[in-house]
Chain A
Amino acid sequence: MCLAIPGKVIEINEEQSIKMGKIDYAGTIKEACLAYVPEVEIGQYVIVHAGFALNVIDEEEAKKTFELWDEMTAKAAEEGLDIFGMPLKKENKG
């Protein structure tokens, strides 16, 4: 439930006056809310939980965690979910 995964901020924009952005998670790109990391800049890494960046982390750390990707994916799959907590059916990925 508290799973948080690292990703790289590749785009920053504003939606209804909240800071949002696109995050690259080892190749998968998804939107996230950046309101809680107001200082973040493009190219930095963040820890993301359910669509919200919770903290900026350094690149080294993020890269280390990418190695854990398979393990985290497997753990989520045990619950029938993908790493983002969505059901393991491609068409439902949102």
Chain B
Amino acid sequence: MKYLDEFRNPEIAKKIVDEIHTATTKDWVIMEVCGGQTHSIMKHGIDQLIPKSIELVHGPGCPVCVTPLEKIDKALAIAARDNVIFTSFGDMLRVPGSKKDLFMIKSEGGDVRIVYSPLDALKIAKDNPDKKVVFFAVGFETTAPLTAMAAWQANEQKINNFSLLVSHVLVPPAIIALQSSPQNRVNGYLAAGHVCTIMGLEEYYPLTEKYKLPIVATGFEPVDILEGILMVVKQLEEGRYEVENQYSRVVKREGNIPAMEVINKVFQISDQKWRGIGVIPHSGITLRDEMASYDAEKVFNINDISVDEPKECISGTILQGIKKPHECPAFGKKCTPKNPLGATMVSSEGACAAYYAYHRQENL
């Protein structure tokens, strides 16, 4: 347990680790859905503190990683146009499209700006009425109410030079897709705390029933993750399958109702392609028909771009928990954070980048 003393709260961490060891009698596979949790697990060596019979697999919960390649290419095509200000959260700029990334477009003269909030993008639109301002709306349920508010406000304030390039994904349909795959090995899930802050827990109840699956909404601190693992293990060992809330200090069962109302005014559920995985039914949201004038794909009339992923990148199987990053032949050789082949190496929340940063290839 060489890492335990690095915990902010080593005594509590040790107590939970001991409890996990006592509770575990069988082999279990647990998936943390969220990339922030993957990062925390690697950084604190949580995978090495828990019993060997518990395998942690890393889920598709990194929005940067699952944004489809063709969406990135569309972003690049729009950002390269004259008269456009393309705005995005900072972590999308280095994600490789099929040929370039947003940083290259910026260095070639494109007006690409990093913003802190989608409302900042809206402000840029107000200040630059002669430009078309686009916000790259990427993220899970946590981020959807933010982009929804930007679109709603654009509509209310009649800001017509603003649009969204939307690539929003939803977590519960992804769990259904993983569970429906014949290769699935996952016995229980840690659900991402901040996603549940918005959506609440309701959607998970039918999943626990249907797939006999413990699902525990879990926070991001290392001690939260340990506690989430303990709660899943106890359920598995006792033959229970329930929705439990480890992160009750932030997550309420009903979620954030005002946020969901604005999401529903602006967006509708749609099928969505996930990078490396493919199309998952009902797993995304797109702008409602009445909001179509804020849809950048329509505003710029960008035809569907179809592109192939680099052949050697196996990030799709990694995002589904089937393979681990170090099993990829390119890992740490052709593919590094400086020179990423796939999106899971770009974002620090991507499993490949987390394994690389914390040298997980060596001792496995």
Contact = CB atoms under 8 A, between A and B. Distances in A.
B270 interface: no
B116 interface: yes
6 contacts: A1-B36, A2-B192, A3-B36, A36-B262, A78-B357, A79-B347
A12 interface: no
Interface string A1-36: 111100000000000111000000000001011011
A80 B357 CA distance: 14
A49 B194 contact: yes
A1 B197 contact: no
Contact of B62 (A1, A18, A61, A94): A1
Interface stretch (B75-83, B141-149, B230-238): B141-149
B157 A16 contact: yes
A87 B90 CA distance: 7
B280 interface: no
B198 A54 contact: yes
Interface residues of B, number: 47
Interface residues of A, number: 37
Nearest to A39: B258
Q: Is the interface of A mostly helix, strand, loop or mixed?
A: loop
Interface stretch (B117-125, B178-186, B292-300): B117-125
A84 B156 CA distance: 27
B64 interface: yes
Interface in A53-94: 54-55, 57-58, 61, 65, 67-68, 75, 78-81, 84-87, 92, 94
Contact of B149 (A2, A33, A75, A85): A33
A36 B258 contact: yes
Nearest to A6: B250
B91 A1 contact: yes
Given A52-B149, A61-B249, A38 B139 contact: no
Contacts of B157: 16
Contacts of B139: 1-2
Contacts of A16: 153, 156-157
A54 B197 CA distance: 7
Nearest to A92: B114
